[in-house]
Chain A
Amino acid sequence: EPEVTQTPSHQVTQMGQEVILRCVPISNHLYFYWYRQILGQKVEFLVSFYNNEISEKSEIFDDQFSVERPDGSNFTLKIRSTKLEDSAMYFCASEGQSNYGYTFGSGTRLTVV
C-alpha cells in the first residue's frame, strides 16, 4: 500500500539553528499538509499546499516557517531559527482527492535544546 515517508525520524537541534524536515508524499496525491503534535496535546494544523502554493496556514506558521516542493516528489518544511517551543512531532500528510481523508507519515520528532 502506498505510504508517506518522512525523514529523519528523530532530529535534535540547537536553539537558533535551521532545520529541514523532509517528506515524500504519495506520488499521485495533489494536496499536502504539515501538522505538529506537542507531547500530550492536540494535533495542530500548520499549513496546506496545493498546486505549488500555500492554500491555508495557521497562526503557528509564522515567518520562521516555510514549505517547498522543489522537485515534484519531496515536500519539505523548513524552520529557520528553531525555538525550544518548536519541539514536537511533525507529521506530513497527503491527500489524493479533496476531503477523502489524509495519509499521514510516521512523523519526525524534533527536539530543540
Chain B
Amino acid sequence: GEDVEQSLFLSVREGDSSVINCTYTDSSSTYLYWYKQEPGAGLQLLTYIFSNMDMKQDQRLTVLLNKKDKHLSLRIADTQTGDSAIYFCAEIYTGGFKTIFGAGTRLFVKA
C-alpha cells in the first residue's frame, strides 16, 4: 500500500541550509506536497510539485523530486528560528481522494 517515510529529527544552526528528505512507495503518485505544522496549529501547505517536474523553487524553499528513486526533498535556505516546526511530506496518487502523510520531521533551529 501507499507509504511515506521521513526521518524524525533534524537540527541545524541559524543561517545554514536545512534539507528534509522523504521517500514514498506509490509509483503512481501524481502530486507531492510539503506541509508545515507549528506547535498547537494545523498543517499549513508550503509547496507542492507535480510528478512530471524535477525541481520547484519558491523563495527560500527548493523542492527536488527524484521519481526513479521515489525520493522527495525540501531545502530551506538561510534557515531561521521561525522555521522550527514539524515538516510533513505527503503524496496523492492518480484517481485518489486522499493524501497520504509521512510521520513528519521535527526541525530544530539553533541560534
Contacts and interface: CB of A to CB of B under 8 A. Distances in A.
Nearest to B100: A45
- Residue among B98, B102, B103 facing the most chain A CB atoms (10 A cut-off): B98
Interface stretch (A12-20, A67-75, A79-87, A99-107): A99-107
How many of chain B's residues touch chain A, expressed as a range?
20 to 34
A99 B98 contact: no
Interface in A16-49: 31, 33, 35, 41-45, 48
Interface in B80-111: 88, 92, 96-104
B104 A43 contact: yes
A105 B41 CA distance: 8
Nearest to A33: B98
Contacts of A4: 42
Contact of B44 (A42, A43, A104, A107): A104
- Residue among A6, A99, A107 facing the most chain B CB atoms (10 A cut-off): A99
B17 interface: no
B104 A48 contact: no
Nearest to A91: B42
B30 A99 contact: yes
A42 B103 contact: yes
A55 interface: yes
A99 B92 contact: yes
Contact of A102 (B30, B99, B104): B99
Contacts of B45: 101-103
A33 to B, nearest CB: 7
B43 interface: yes
B92 to A, nearest CB: 6
Interface in B27-86: 30-31, 33, 35, 40-45, 48
B92 A45 contact: no
Contacts of B102: 42
Interface of B: 30-31, 33, 35, 40-45, 48, 88, 92, 96-104
**Which 4 A/B pairs are nearest by Cβ-Cβ distance?**
A104-B42, A55-B97, A56-B97, A101-B45
